[in-house]
Chain A
Amino acid sequence: MSLQATAAPAAVRLPRWLVPAGVAALFVAAYLVFKGTGTLPHDKEAPQFLAITDLREWIDANRNSSPVFLYFVNYIRIYVGELYTALYVALTSLGWPGLIGVMGGLGWLAGGWRVGLAAVAGFGSFAVLGLWDESVLTLTLVVAAVLLSLLVGMPLGVWAGRSPRLRRLVTPALDVMQIMPTFAYLAPLVLFFQIGPIAGIVATMIYSIPPAIRITALAIEQVSPTAVEASASLGATRWQTLRKVYLPLGRSTMALAVNQTIMMALSMVVIAALIAAPGLGDIIIRGLSRAQVGIMLPAGIAIVVMAVVLDRITMAAARRGPHDRIGRARLLGAAAPAVLGLAGTAVLPAQYPEDWSVRFVTQVNEAVRWAETNWYPVTAFVKDVTSAVLLNPLEGLLTSAPWWLVAAAVLTVGWWAGGVRPALTALGCLLAIALLGVWEHAMSTLSMVLVAVVFTLAAGLLLGVAAARRPRFSAVQRPILDAAQTMPSFVYLLPALALFESTKFTAIFASVIYSIPPVVRLVEDGIRGVPETVVEAATAAGSTPRQLLWKVQLPMARRAIMLAANQGIVMTLAMVVIGGMVGAGALGYDVITGFSQRSDFGMGFAAGVATVLLGVMLDRITTARRSS
């Protein structure tokens, strides 16, 4: 905008495209001249990496003497550890029939017999899949992390909901937390908590706390101010108003906060397997490292099932009206499966018998192999064309261009998109990436993100527009999107891996399917959000459906579409990084190497920080327009 503004006063009015085209030409020329100079090639032994690795060694050596550890971190370790053990003992002592029964009872209590049945079937499937112990471990981690998240997040949320000042203070922090790729949480925690379930719980807790705070604050804010005033006018104390007005009136939204916190936790707990958190994630990592879909598939199914069951139970609780009471019939109904299950624990074998479970590792591996061979022409074609036409040229461009040229380009795009401040923030992030010593890998990751974003936005817009215009299509698509959004990110690697083996394209494919659902949803809602009267007026003026879409609906839904683009980019980045496990290399792979090889910890840490910086950079550039 500013660039055009400087050109405008010229006597002859220049065409609008001239300035952008000129700037682009300038960049192309600069690239051709300076190509290959000023690049920052990757060096595994970069001094930055070594310094961080040394820091870890130092921390490990002083773990039991530094006061920060003695009086703070070590206590957290101890208490979180005790919570973990206590929960694990509690869950396992129910026995497998008992736990299935109790979950069924909880489901029945929250949402009636259907939800109860779904819970029984879901938890039963863990046993049938032969993954009972791993599932209980994952559940323990989730429950521990969610409890801690809510313990800290809900009071903070209540406070933030009532104090605009605190709200202003925490919102930017939560914003950054929300765009941080899951991977980035792991490395700093290893530094303080070493590897294992405790670090996993703490990482998961930190990752899942934003919705606990945010949605609780929202719940408190939504409480009718008249009800609060009426309570105050009758002389209620602050505590009375909180207990008798705020909390009951915010209850169903707060149940949503619990729901979201659980979903985030479940997604993170799997990734925490990278820092040796036990459970289903561990199996998936094992499968990934051997590229065996057969090993991963049952665990993937179990995670999805767990997500769906926990989602159903908490959503049912959230949907209850303000004065729905739990009737006696439902209480009795809910007690039945619990009692039955606990009775089962007394009668049935303590360990779920091996021969009652269904194993299909070899069959799946064979099916995947069959697909790989028989669909090879198609998948290879898609993969190769994308790589040759988009990915490789882009990656080549970004890695061979001088760093200052890339920085100048980011600055220009940021400025054009949003103005000075976002542009400078983006530039700062980029320079920090260069200083961390991971420039080349960051550029490689960036190129994958850009390619994935192109696909995501294209598909998302197409599906979103289609859904907005055809209610029946939307009715079919919605449940699929709902299910897709409850699935932990890891699960998306499975089909990608099955179709494309371990390559960069695999990560791109996974991140596209991972980030399409929110994009579709935002686009659809944006177009539907166009006021009925405007659409009616345009139709009355004789617009064709196409004109209506291009001249009315899409322009008016611009904000929603920009938000969709932003979400798409942030989610794509998160997934591309995880894709480091399936051959995407670059930053994601550095992070993973950092966890598995002690000597590479510094590089992993730097790569983790770089993913955050990359996320902030992309987010700043794409959100800028929203505020202006």
Chain B
Amino acid sequence: MRVAPERPSIDPAGIKVTGLWKIFGPRAERVLAGEDRNLDPEELRRRTGCTAAVRDVSFEVRPGEMFVVMGLSGSGKSTLVRCLTRLVEPTAGEISIGGEDVVRASPAQLRELRRHRVSMVFQHFGLLPHRRVIDNVAYGLEIQGKPKAARRERARQILALVGLDGHADSYPDQLSGGMQQRVGLARALAVDPEVMLFDEPFSALDPLIRRDMQAEVVRLHREVGKTMVFITHDLSEALKLGERIAIMRAGAIVQLGTPEELVGAPADDYVADFVRDVPRSEVLSLRWICRDPEPGESLEGPELPAHTVIKDAVPVAAASAQPIRVVDGEKLVGVVDRVDILGSLAPAPAVPEKAPA
């Protein structure tokens, strides 16, 4: 049920970030210019009193993509997302949103960008306690100078979209945490932006509500088709939502890839340690475990596409004694038998170097 907006929805914009740095502290510029910038965080703070929150980060988000940035607290992910609209002023680097140069935008241009093209959802909601829900949702339109009737009308539509009909006249403190974040979501949606940024929006919610909200975001992404950048510290949330995931550590991106790539081929020990407890059979597809058929092996078994998740292949394998033929379109990629599938269900070795030779 795609909501039909009165005007044609704006095409989602892509984001391109190149060589982004953010160093907090005095003389940040000098640190960046010198060799100090390569120091590890602890050492840098001790020597210069500066903190490098974002270090030489580059990535690209495709229009309409759901892009997740994941990292533990202090990894610089919240700073990164704030740099995108210069809520935090980046120290160096290039940012372009939908082709517009954000770093060199004038204050007025930046305001226009924030008003119409990019909106944000915050971890602690940031609602205004003295305004009713409807006026919170309409806040962005009010800032733009839209007349009251028009913005209320729009706010009502959006409230319906996020499932808050009937709460328009409540005050934020009369709503539960999950509902308050729906208001935050609606506020960000109300300005019909091309890009939505989410800064750990569900971390403050309890697990059941978090699951509902994640489903809500997935649904919204499908329905409104906006470019979304989603910050989280929760790996399962990242895997559930992200088309691609960037893992951050100490300000830098250590790996960027699809969930499958992260789980199947971690770039380093840090990522491997992270994804160790992820049930591989739920993330990896048959492509990751199939092998060339051995000579004389039967090729009469059932056929499954290569992107089938391992878990979904289990019933098929159980039903047939023949190895499963894994195909990509018409082409045979390999075969998978019951032993291969059972092997993939076992947990990954703890840390690669400790694995038996």
Residues of A participating in the B interface, judged by any CB pair closer than 8 Å: 224, 226-237, 240, 244-245, 248-249, 251, 322-323
Contacts and interface: CB of A to CB of B under 8 A. Distances in A.
B119 interface: yes
Given A226-B124, A230-B187, A236 B143 contact: yes
Interface of B: 85, 87, 110-116, 118-120, 122-132, 139-140, 142-144, 171, 173, 184, 187, 191, 197
B126 A226 contact: yes
Contact of A235 (B112, B173, B197): B112
Nearest to A232: B87
A37 B126 CA distance: 69
Given A233-B87, A234-B119, A244-B128, 4 more contacts: A230-B122, A232-B87, A232-B114, A236-B143
Most chain B beta-carbon neighbours within 10 Å: one of A231, A235, A240, A322: A235
Nearest to B120: A233
Most chain A beta-carbon neighbours within 10 Å: one of B85, B113, B130, B131: B130
Contacts of A228: 126
A234 B129 contact: no
Contacts of B112: 235
A224 to B, nearest CB: 7
Nearest to A230: B126
Given A234-B139, A235-B113, A227 B130 contact: no
Nearest to B197: A233
Given A232-B87, A235-B113, A235-B140, A322 B122 contact: no
A322 B191 contact: no
Contact of A323 (B87, B118, B124, B129): B129
Contacts of B113: 235
A234 B123 contact: no
Contacts of A232: 87, 114
Contacts of B127: 227, 230
Given A234-B115, A235-B112, A240-B143, A323 B130 contact: yes
A543 to B, nearest CB: 39
B87 A229 contact: yes
A150 to B, nearest CB: 21
6 contacts: A226-B124, A230-B120, A234-B139, A236-B143, A249-B128, A323-B132
B80 to A, nearest CB: 15
A248 B126 contact: no
A235 B126 contact: no
Nearest to B139: A234
Contacts of A234: 114-115, 119, 139-140, 143, 187, 191
A248 to B, nearest CB: 5
A240 B140 CA distance: 11
What is the interface of chain B mostly: helix, strand, loop, or mixed?
mixed
Contact of B143 (A224, A235, A251, A323): A235
B114 A322 contact: no
Contact of B171 (A236, A251, A323): A323
A410 B113 CA distance: 63
Contacts of A251: 130
B130 A224 contact: no
Contacts of B143: 231, 234-236, 240, 244
A251 to B, nearest CB: 8
Contact of B130 (A231, A233, A249): A249
Given A227-B126, A230-B122, A323 B114 contact: no
Contacts of B110: 235
B139 A231 contact: yes
Contacts of A245: 128
Contact of B122 (A226, A244, A323): A226
A84 to B, nearest CB: 36
Contacts of B187: 230, 234
A234 B143 CA distance: 8
A282 B81 CA distance: 64
B276 to A, nearest CB: 34
B119 A233 contact: yes
A227 B144 contact: no
A553 to B, nearest CB: 35
Most chain A beta-carbon neighbours within 10 Å: one of B114, B115, B126, B144: B126
B165 to A, nearest CB: 21
Contacts of B119: 233-234
Contacts of B124: 224, 226
The 3 A-B pairs of least Cβ separation, nearest first, read A230-B126, A235-B115, A235-B114
A249 B124 CA distance: 16
Contacts of B128: 227, 244-245, 248-249
Contacts of B197: 233
A235 B109 CA distance: 10
A232 B143 CA distance: 10
A248 B130 contact: yes
Contacts of A249: 128-130
A230 B186 CA distance: 13
Contacts of B123: 226
Contacts of B116: 235
A231 B120 CA distance: 10
B105 to A, nearest CB: 12
A231 B113 CA distance: 13
Contacts of B140: 234-235
B100 to A, nearest CB: 14
A227 B124 CA distance: 9
A299 B116 CA distance: 63
Contacts of B132: 323
Contacts of A237: 111
Contacts of B126: 224, 226-231
Nearest to B88: A229
Given A233-B85, A234-B139, A226 B125 contact: yes
Most chain B beta-carbon neighbours within 10 Å: one of A228, A229, A237, A240: A229
Contacts of B120: 230, 233
A230 B183 CA distance: 12
Contacts of B131: 323
A248 B172 CA distance: 15
Nearest to B171: A323
Contacts of A244: 128, 139, 142-143
Most chain A beta-carbon neighbours within 10 Å: one of B111, B113, B132, B184: B111
